[in-house]
């Protein structure tokens, strides 16, 4: 566990950092200072943060240092720097949601997520940039968050700064939200691990909703095992993943959603990496079978009436009176959401129930489903609802509808652009353990986390 530099330290795993703390070889103060220095160095290039809580973080780090010096037993996240998407209420600290409308909003209570992280002893040092209200577009007041693999490309949305900062070594984890892919897509673009847990696995109390039927909260990390550590700390239902990482997936059944790989919309380099990843699962002695889900062809008929009508509902106190304060893309989708007929919304909810049952039935035959996370590596600008070149939600939003845990891990880098591509694993409700086990075995076999040169 030799440390070559402060930068090297920032790319350790959470377990490695905890071991260094307990051995008193490294201090939480040292790690927090290095994190803040890395943030200062890269922020002009990445634009990954809206609010930095440096003073508060250093005070918490000093408290954590005293605890480790006394040799007290603490949890796995204790003294570890993490960030959160600027969508969670934080008492006395700005919560902007990347919007002009809430640019000066200071909540008088904390979100469940923030309280859970504080209770774990994690050091929360900043609130990340994001697409406006986690919806269609970045607001020009805040600007696009850039990708550490290529700062001329986006980090993806809507948990933009969360993915970019973790990939760049600014913090060991971040917490984002995912309504149609907003954890998994930026994680795929940035080459990290992003989990959308089972619906309501993490309480949404104190979260500003985009679509309450589809919103999920989950962790973004560099390794699968780090992700499991964070989920243990924020899950509303107690969970422990200590014994799941066996290193073997022999005999486990992996269902390949072939239609989502063979689609004409898939970037050739992405298809190549995904297929290679599936072959690797077979080489690891998993049993790989093809799975058909015909309902995916019309998934937008379920997703869009729910997402758009609920999205507009949560903005009725501002729209249309403050329409001029929204980014153009957000304004467009809000206007359309108010036009969704009530009958279409109720029909979509019924079809959501039926689709959820269909996905659940597939797990009678397989342990996980697998497909690409995104149809391409990172694009130059944020994909948006009005950009129909690719449907960036087609591979992710089905599992928001069904509520299943879904995790993305890098399948490798494209030969042409040297950009990450994500492989997505989907599991049974409340079976994050199996998803973690298979994804960890894959990530380890694939060489572990690869960090950008930034």
Catalytic (active site) residue 83:
no
Token couple for 113: 């997520």
Nearest to 423 by CA among 444, 448, 406, 447: 406
Catalytic (active site) residue 158:
yes
Nearest to 435 by CA among 193, 236, 257: 193
Q: Is 448 left (phi over 0), alpha (psi -120 to 50) or beta?
A: left
178, containing H or E segment: strand 173-178
Q: What SS3 string covers 97-129?
A: CCCCCCCCCCCCCCCHHHHHHHHHCCEEEEEEC
d(CA 230, CA 201): 13
Catalytic (active site) residue 85:
yes
- The catalytic position among 12, 60, 76, 85 is 85
- The catalytic position among 27, 83, 182, 376 is 182
Do 220 and 159 touch, CB atoms closer than 8 A?
Answer: yes
Lookup result for tokens 């690797």? 280
Token couple for 318: 């501002």
Token couple for 428: 């049974």
Lookup result for tokens 């930034």? 454
Q: What is the DSSP string of 20-76?
A: HHHTTSS-HHHHHHHHHHHHHHHHHHH--EEEE-HHHHHHHHHHHHHHHHTT----T
- Pairing outcome for strands 193-196 and 216-221: antiparallel
d(CA 384, CA 157): 9
- The catalytic position among 158, 159, 165, 374 is 158
List the beta bridge partners of residue 253.
287
Q: Is 169 left (phi over 0), alpha (psi -120 to 50) or beta?
A: left
d(CA 154, CA 166): 15
Nearest to 69 by CA among 34, 3, 25: 25
d(CA 215, CA 202): 10
Nearest to 311 by CA among 338, 347, 278: 338
Tell me which residues are annotated as active site.
Answer: 85, 158, 182
């Amino acid at each position: 566990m030799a440390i070559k530099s402060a930068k090297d330290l920032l790319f350790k795993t959470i377990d490695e950092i905890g071991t260094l703390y307990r051995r008193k070889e490294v201090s939480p103060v040292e790690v927090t200072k290095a994190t803040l220095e890395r943030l200062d160095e890269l922020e002009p290039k990445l634009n990954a943060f809206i609010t930095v809580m440096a003073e508060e973080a250093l005070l918490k780090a000093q408290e954590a240092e005293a605890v480790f010096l006394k040799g007290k037993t603490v949890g796995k996240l204790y003294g570890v720097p993490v960030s959160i998407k600027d969508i969670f209420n934080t008492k006395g600290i700005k919560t902007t949601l990347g919007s002009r409308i809430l640019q000066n909003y200071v909540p008088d209570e904390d979100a469940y997520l923030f309280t859970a992280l504080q209770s774990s002893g994690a050091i929360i040092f900043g609130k990340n940039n994001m697409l406006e209200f986690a919806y269609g577009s970045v607001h020009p007041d805040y600007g696009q968050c850039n990708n550490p693999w290529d700062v001329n490309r986006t980090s993806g949305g809507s948990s933009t700064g969360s993915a970019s900062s973790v990939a760049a070594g600014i913090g060991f984890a971040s917490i984002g939200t995912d309504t149609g892919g907003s954890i998994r897509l930026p994680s795929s673009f940035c080459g990290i691990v992003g989990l959308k847990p089972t619906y309501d696995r993490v309480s949404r109390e104190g979260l500003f909703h985009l679509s309450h039927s589809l919103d999920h909260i989950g962790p973004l990390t560099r390794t699968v095992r780090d992700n499991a550590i964070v989920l243990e700390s924020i899950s509303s239902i107690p969970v422990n993943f200590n014994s799941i990482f066996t290193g073997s997936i022999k005999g486990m059944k992996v269902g390949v959603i072939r239609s989502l790989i063979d689609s004409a919309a898939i970037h050739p380099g992405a298809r190549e990496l995904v297929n290679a990843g599936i072959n690797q699962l077979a080489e690891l002695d998993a049993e790989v079978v093809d799975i058909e889900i015909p309902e995916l062809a019309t998934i937008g008929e379920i997703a869009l009436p729910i997402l758009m009508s609920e999205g507009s509902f949560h903005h009725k106190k501002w729209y249309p009176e403050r329409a001029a304060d929204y980014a153009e893309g957000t304004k467009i989708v809000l206007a359309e959401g108010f036009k969704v007929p009530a009958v279409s919304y109720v029909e979509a909810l019924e079809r959501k129930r039926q689709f959820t049952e269909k996905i659940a039935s597939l797990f009678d035959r397989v342990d996980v489903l697998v497909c690409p996370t995104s149809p391409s590596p990172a694009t130059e600008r944020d994909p948006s609802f009005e950009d129909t070149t690719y449907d960036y939600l087609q591979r992710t939003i089905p599992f928001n509808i069904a509520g299943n845990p879904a995790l993305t891990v890098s399948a490798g880098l494209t030969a042409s652009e040297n950009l990450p591509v994500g492989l997505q694993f989907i599991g049974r409700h409340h079976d994050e353990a199996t998803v973690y086990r298979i994804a960890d075995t894959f990530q380890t076999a694939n060489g572990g986390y690869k960090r950008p040169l930034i």
